[in-house]
Chains A and B, each alone.
Chain A
Amino acid sequence: MVKNILFVGVGGQGIILASKVLTEGLLKYGYDVKMSEVHGMAQRGGSVTTQVRFGDKVYSPLIGEGEADVVVSFEKVEAVRWINYLKKDGKLIVNDYEIYSLPVLIGKEEYPNNIEEELEKSGIEYKLFNASKIAEDVGNIKTQNMVILGALVKSLGLEELDWDGVIKDVLPEKLVEINTKAFKIGLSI
């Protein structure tokens, strides 16, 4: 049985690091893991995704439409952009944080204000919380990715692994404490 996690957001939000911590943890669990990411042009303020697949044996590194067990969105409208990847009855984790794209910034397009309302109507099981605010309170907005990762680990039911150890392995020493703190708060969401 292979599980599919799709991370989406905007370049610079720490998505790749979050998926890295997740994959390292999954490897420790003994899973076969594949992760796919996109670099280059896409990073310049564009929409960014990484895909993580794990199970006994994983072939394709890619997740198809309607195949993601969890879609993890680091930005509010990105959740909607990628909602077609969510499996029927899959879970959605959304950072209640808005990053305006250039067409919105210059007033050519509008940022939608009915996302929560539509999510409510859709019947999708979702968690919506402001990880960026939580991270700011922790002391560094950049730890938002660990808050979100904590929430994901909880919804996957993988809490019992030594995630503190994984964070320690992956992150530079001086950032371990604050990120572990952010991750723990995420676990309680």
Chain B
Amino acid sequence: MKKIMSGNEAIARGAWEAGCTFAAAYPGTPSTEILENIAQYEEIYSEWSPNEKVAVEVACGASIAGARALCAMKHVGLNVAADPLFTIAYEGANGGLVIISADDPGMHSSQNEQDNRLYAPHAKVAMIEPSDSQECKDYIKYAFEISEKYDTPILFRITTRIAHSKGVVELSEREEVGFRDYEKNVKKYVMIPGNARIKHVEVEERLKNLKELSNNTPLNRIEWGDKKIGIVTSGVSYQYAKEVFGDNASYLKIGFSYPLPDELIRNFAEEVEKLYVIEENEPYLENYIKSMGIDCVGKEIIPICGELNPDIIREAFYGNQKRELYNLDVKVPSRPPVLCPGCPHRGIFYAVSKYKDIVATGDIGCYTLGMMPPLNVTDTVICMGAGISAAIGFEKVYKMANRRGKIFGFVGDSTFFHSGITGLIDAVYNQSPIVAVILDNRITAMTGHQENPGTGKTIKGEITQVIDILSIVKAIGIKEENIRVVDPYDLKATEEAVKDAYNSSEPFVIITKQPCALIKEVQKKRSGKYLVINQEKCKKCKVCLRTGCPAISIRNNNIVIDKNMCNACTVCQQVCKFDAIEKGGNF
């Protein structure tokens, strides 16, 4: 049976067919749908872990206990999980262990463009790279087999265009493999220095065996065409190269990309007139081939920044061959992403935006958009958790440099569980009077509404214990009088909380509680409710526009609210000094 599947769906299907019984992940674009799809198979235990490090560790435990285990994350997630990765590489696998890294060339939804292929040689784990949905499914099955046969974790590396492109996939049935026996083996699974020293030698030996496999695996294959141009490539770059050159080139298509196949590369290079390497971002293949003493052309003509496409490759080889393009004499306005109508983050950002001497360290999530005009609140975004921890660094330096100002750190609920807790512990431990604002919207919103430890539901929709943010904050040692829990739709209460926090000389926490306006139940509850502007009362002062709500606009010199977009959060009504905003619909 054939089906159209995204790479992420195909990976989930492949894992199921391979008899995988265990999967863990933390959501992150472009990897999120892998676990969302796996969770639909009842044979596979699935979980959203609080962060990627935990996801890899639970998968390590599952693998050692004998299950075929998988974990998935976006590229930056592997940084968080690098610690277990480097040591599980020594311990190896019992049940097959596959760690998926979804990289984001072009940074469609990421803060950097790191190329995680470089992790494989660094951590000394085998690496596999599919180039379309069918290969996603097939290679996952292969990955589990190789993991078990060679006693190695597998780094399975995809990119946005593999994860989110759909293609035709031939389906098969599930093969039950059950659970391998677990036998206590401290020499293999307890990495004290004495055992690790022995293990490191074994890992080097394992890499030699894997290199032999790499020379013979069907995942690394030569497709002969015209031998004037020989192209070494992998992942989606292979598709782009085929699109451009078709049969007018020969290809060494690398699907098993660590260790690399020396013999195959050498044979291929000898047969072709000129050797090229086409790869996105880092010159991973190119540097290796050059280190073998083989002459090739890569980053001299293929850009290192951004994602590739057929046109970039065409231009690199044949110069500018622009097609005739249409161009209309129309001034197109920009369309930046914004906080949605009714977004609960708007109220708190609006309240903070009134203070000109607040520095706001932000975090990864929808609230990153607190940086956008007209709110203009956020000063920094680094990574998950840094919303709180970077605030501490700021605060200490502001104090030493005798600068005026108050530091507010912003994190979401999921982000707080991910890595915000440790930052807050630091604030208390090292007595940093920052204000940590935890934006609890009861969901992991930016990645498309995943459950998290605070929502009371698992990935499978089962009811579970709610981890209470307030209790954690108290347990960390934030004093009761320095905690405010507010409804960010209640602007007055929110502004008072911000004022109290601003004036405090101790570590302070504001928790805003209001579910994401896009949650289905929330939408249902508020459907048919909206606000309208009474044009007779409206003085056109535009204060409501400063909330940055996309439902409010100026049309024909009047300020109006789009009733279809309005979410009835009433924040605009509360900022209006002339009572010109009134309730409409079935309020």
A103 CA to B331 CA in the complex, in Å? 13
CB-defined contacts of A44 to chain B, threshold 8 Å: 337-340, 366, 369, 446
Q: Which of B85-93, B159-167, B423-431 is the contact stretch?
A: B159-167
Q: Count the A-B residue pairs with Cβ separation under 8 angstroms: how many?
A: 189
A103 pairs with B322, CB closer than 8 A: no
Interface of B is mostly: loop
A27 pairs with B333, CB closer than 8 A: no
A95-122, CB < 8 A from B: 100-112, 114-115, 118-119, 122
A88 pairs with B369, CB closer than 8 A: no
Query: A176: shortest Cβ distance to chain B, in Å?
Result: 19
Q: Give the interface size class of chain B.
A: 35 or more
Query: B237: shortest Cβ distance to chain A, in Å?
Result: 10
A62 CA to B340 CA in the complex, in Å? 29
Indicate if B324 sits at the interface (CB-CB under 8 A): yes
Indicate if A86 sits at the interface (CB-CB under 8 A): yes
CB-defined contacts of B132 to chain A, threshold 8 Å: 34
Minimal Cβ-Cβ distance residue in B for A106: B545
Query: A33: shortest Cβ distance to chain B, in Å?
Result: 6
A104 CA to B550 CA in the complex, in Å? 10
**Which of B164, B374, B548 is close to A39, meaning CB atoms less than 8 Å apart?**
B164
A27 CA to B166 CA in the complex, in Å? 11
Query: A181: shortest Cβ distance to chain B, in Å?
Result: 21
A179 CA to B171 CA in the complex, in Å? 29
Knowing A61-B161, A110-B331, the reply to whether A40 touches B108 (Cβ < 8 A) is yes
Knowing A42-B108, A44-B340, the reply to whether A118 touches B329 (Cβ < 8 A) is yes
**Which of A33, A39, A67, A122 is close to B30, meaning CB atoms less than 8 Å apart?**
A39
Q: Give the A interface residue count (CB, 8 A).
A: 59
A24 pairs with B4, CB closer than 8 A: yes
A88 pairs with B327, CB closer than 8 A: no
Q: Which of B145-153, B239-247, B270-278 is the contact stretch?
A: B239-247
CB-defined contacts of B477 to chain A, threshold 8 Å: none
A105 pairs with B168, CB closer than 8 A: no
**Which of B326, B333, B340, B374 is close to A111, meaning CB atoms less than 8 Å apart?**
B333
A57 CA to B75 CA in the complex, in Å? 30
A47 CA to B334 CA in the complex, in Å? 9
A110 CA to B550 CA in the complex, in Å? 15
Query: A47: shortest Cβ distance to chain B, in Å?
Result: 5
Knowing A23-B4, A114-B330, the reply to whether A65 touches B109 (Cβ < 8 A) is no
Minimal Cβ-Cβ distance residue in B for A45: B338
Indicate if A77 sits at the interface (CB-CB under 8 A): yes
B326 pairs with A84, CB closer than 8 A: yes
Indicate if B122 sits at the interface (CB-CB under 8 A): no
A62 pairs with B166, CB closer than 8 A: no
CB-defined contacts of B3 to chain A, threshold 8 Å: 27
B335 pairs with A46, CB closer than 8 A: yes
Minimal Cβ-Cβ distance residue in B for A87: B323
Query: What are 6 A-B pairs with beta-carbon distances under 8 A?
Result: A10-B335, A34-B132, A34-B167, A60-B309, A61-B166, A64-B309
Contacts A37-B165, A60-B242, A122-B328 known; list 19 others, CB within 8 Å: A38-B108, A44-B446, A46-B335, A65-B311, A66-B323, A77-B332, A83-B326, A83-B327, A84-B327, A100-B553, A101-B334, A101-B550, A102-B373, A105-B554, A106-B553, A106-B554, A109-B334, A110-B333, A118-B328
Chain B positions near chain A (C-beta within 8 angstroms): 2-4, 29-30, 32, 108-109, 132, 160-161, 164-168, 236, 239-240, 242-243, 309-311, 322-340, 366, 368-369, 372-374, 446-448, 542, 545, 548, 550, 552-554, 564
